Every structure is written in structure tokens, then in C-alpha cells.
A and B are shown apart, each in its own frame.
Chain A
Amino acid sequence: MNLTLKIWRQKNANDKGKMVDYKVNDISPDMSFLEMLDVLNEQLVNKGEEPVAFDHDCREGICGMCSLYINGEAHGPDRGVTTCQLHMRMFKDGDTIYIEPFRAKAFPVIKDLIVDRSSFDRIQHAGGFISVNTSGNTIDANAIPVNKHDADDAFSAATCIGCGACVASCKNSSAMLYVGAKVSQFALLPQGKIEATDRVLNMVKQMDEEGFGNCTNTGACEVECPKGISLENIARMNREYLSAALKG
């Protein structure tokens, strides 16, 4: 496959940045999208040019490191996959592909296609945990009965890898699917109920302070989420938050 790539290039956080055109030839349809970018970078290095900076780590859809807004969609046109799991067979010979960083005020661009997603970490620090006595008297988690339905929902919420596709896809740059998943995975379990009130209040407060937008329920986040996190998690977070806020 021969492709034209339109890629966002930005030297650093302060640079204005622009879209730059590149040609790549002889791309195998069986390559992953990131392997295709590796080929491009080899070409650029051989020509003495600066390679395109992009995030990646596990390359098997688990770490949540890869991002990229490809042809107008987070993680590209395929469903239920991260960019590293996206294959070039999703494109046609001669295609022009737009490759941009995830855009949000709360995800500032560091370089080229790499964005700073530490705002997610700060939301987690605000309440995305449970406090457990680890001094030797810890109760085995398996000794606490959990309703199967709740366990399944909590597990589904916990599959969120925090990649930020929800924010990138949302027209409002809202992080409510991410925060909803993190709130839900604890709120549904007995271990998480003890700190539930403070957790949701603190995580939502941090989310707002980071500058994410307001959810308007377009559902784009759910469609583009590589792990299929459901909008139910946002509704659950809304209930948890309203109940916690009324408690004071």
C-alpha cells in the first residue's frame, strides 16, 4: 500500500505546530498502525530528519499508552481496539490518513503526537483507591461475598485502561466516562463503599479543576472506547455524586 500521511508536528509544548505531509510506500496490510509509523520514522532518520514522536508501550492493547486521532477518530476507524491493535488493512491503497494528537486543554501536547495525560493520574490520586489495613490483619478480599452482577459490572468498569480516547472523542473534551469507570469499579464493591462519598466528590472536583468539559451525553466516548466502557458508568457516577453532595 502507498499512503499519504498528514501528521501533526510540534517541536515542543510552546511550539505552534502544523500538519505536515509524508509519503510512505510498500506498507503491508498486515502491519499494525504503529509499525507503519515505525517505517515512516526509519525513512525520516535515514534522511536525517526528526522522527515523529508518538506514545506506545505494550503494543498489545493493555497499557493505554498509545493514543492518536486517526482520520477523525480516537484510535482510528476500527472498534474496540487501541491504535497499536489497529491494522493497516483498515485502509486502502492510495488513502490519505490524518494523524493528530488527542486534543483537549487538559491533555497539552508535549511533542508531535505525544500528549500529557497526567491529569488522569491526578484524578486517580484524588480518590481512585481504597484504604486497606496492611499491617498483618488484612482480610482476604475473597472472604467478602460480592453479588455476581455487581462483580461483573465492577470488573467491566475496571477494564478502563485510561488511554483518554473518551476525552479525545468527546466534542466537549469531557472525562466523565473515565472518571465514571474509576468511580464505578469501587462503588460497586463492598471494599469501595466505605470511602464512596469522599471518593466521588474529590474525583469530580479534580476532574473539573483539570479543565475537562461537561458531558452532554453524545455517547461518542462509549463508541470510541477501546474497552467498551458503558455510559452506565457515567449515570452511576452522577447518582453517586448527587447523593454524596446532598449528604454534604
Chain B
Amino acid sequence: MSGILNSSIGRKFAMALSALFLMIFLLQHFTINLLSVFSEDTFNSVSHFMGTFWLVQYVFQPILIFGVIFHFVMGFVLEVKNRNARQISYAKNNGSANSSWMSRNMIWSGLAILAFIGLHFYDFWFPEINTKFIQGDMSGLLPNGEYRYFEELQHKFVDVWRVVLYCIAFVFLALHLLHGFSSAFQSTGANNKYTKGLQGFGKAYAIIIPLGFVFIALFHYFNH
């Protein structure tokens, strides 16, 4: 298997698998966040379950962190190798004549998403780890006895600039997914009679999911 990862095709296959995994995670994250729009109680219950269930915390979460780190590290490795494969640039290059902006700028949309993940971890993940594993409070409750998850979520969307930053990040996420979804399937060798349908589904996914996240952020900003 290590031989596969040392080859160009193996690396892009691994990149595609990590991308498909992250896209499944994104759908799950979106579904749970969307609950916050419809029902505070349901959102709190699901969040508490996800935040305390051992399988999620000690199995899925480490796999997810590995997947995120692997995807970014491999992305940078491939970018460096690819830049090295052309040491003199063209004086004139008409990239837009043959490829989409999204496909040519995955590294930049990826870096924007990486910066957003830093902000997102600062906002939610680090405080969560601090509460649960440093302070040792696994109750998920506020001093008034209510669940803290919905309260924490709304609190983060009070500041207009944070909401703007989140919305910009989701635009970059959409741009990344618009190429990344179909590209992941092509890298795994899945180019067949279902390809056109998958590309259509990928475009819908790339627009609906980020747009949904924008909607959730704006919803809480205007309803806090």
C-alpha cells in the first residue's frame, strides 16, 4: 500500500477518498446545524449526543481530524510537486480558455477554508474540548440547568463581522466543492454512464450545502 501512496495516481486516489469522507461529514454537520433553525430542543439533544457518545468522540472524531489534516497536507504536497513540474512559467497563459477558475485555484479556495477552520475551531471546538476534557464538565448544561449548545451557537452569530466572515468562507467552500466533488469521483476512476448525473448532483451539493450554512448563520444573526 505504501507503494501506491508514492505514485501520482495513488496520491490523487488518497486525496479523493479523504475529500469524499469530508463531504459526507459536511452533510452530517449541515443536517445537525439545520436542526437549530427548526427546534432548539432537538438541536440541543442531538448536539449533546454527538458531544458525549463515546463512538463519536473517541472513534469518529479522531478519524475526522486525521481526514482533515491528511487532506490539507496532501493538498500542499501535491501543489509543491505540481509547481515543481513547470519551472518556467508561460509569458502568456490563457487558462480560462480550457478550464474553470475553480479547478485552477483549488489551493487558494482550500487555504481560505483552512483559515475558516482555524476560526471555527477557535469559536467552537477549542471551547468544547476545554469544557469537556480540561474542566471535566460532560453535563452539557448551563448554570441555569438548560443545555448550553443552542445558546453557544447563537452567541457566536451576534457579531456582524463574524457572520460576514462565515458567509465569505462558505462562498470559498462552494467554489472548492464545485470542482472537488466531480474531481474526487474522476480520481477514483469512476467515469462512466453515471458521470453526468454525478456531476449534476455535485453541483447541486456544492451550492445547496454552503448556501444552507449561510442561511443558518444569517438566521441566528437576525433571531438572536
Contact = CB atoms under 8 A, between A and B. Distances in A.
A103 B88 contact: yes
Contacts of A232: 191
Interface residues of B, number: 41
B171 interface: no
Interface string B165-188: 000000000000001001100111
Question: Size band of the A side of the interface?
Answer: 35 or more
Most buried by A among B9, B84, B88, B91: B9
Interface string B70-109: 0000000010011011111111111101111001101000
A176 B186 CA distance: 12
B203 interface: no
Given A217-B179, A219-B103, A242 B98 contact: no
Given A72-B90, A73-B97, A218-B103, A205 B183 contact: no
A8 B106 CA distance: 30
Contacts of B81: 213-214
Given A98-B92, A214-B8, A235 B189 contact: yes
B144 interface: no
Contacts, number: 142
Contacts of B100: 218-219
Contacts of B104: 171, 218
Most buried by A among B13, B90, B190: B90
A217 B187 contact: yes
B6 to A, nearest CB: 8
Interface string A104-143: 1110000000000000000000000000000000000000
Contacts of B8: 174, 176, 204, 207-208, 212-215
A118 to B, nearest CB: 17
A34 interface: no
A219 B86 contact: no
Interface in B6-53: 7-13
B9 A238 contact: yes
A171 B186 contact: no
Contacts of B86: 103-105, 171-173, 213
Name the 10 nearest CB pairs between A and B, nearest first. Answer: A72-B94, A235-B191, A213-B85, A239-B189, A172-B82, A223-B98, A238-B189, A173-B85, A218-B103, A98-B92
Interface of A: 6, 8, 19, 69, 71-73, 77, 98, 100, 103-106, 169, 171-174, 176, 204-205, 207-208, 211-220, 223-224, 231-232, 234-239, 241-242, 245-246
15 contacts: A71-B92, A73-B98, A171-B95, A173-B85, A212-B85, A217-B103, A218-B100, A218-B179, A219-B103, A220-B95, A235-B186, A237-B9, A238-B186, A238-B189, A242-B188
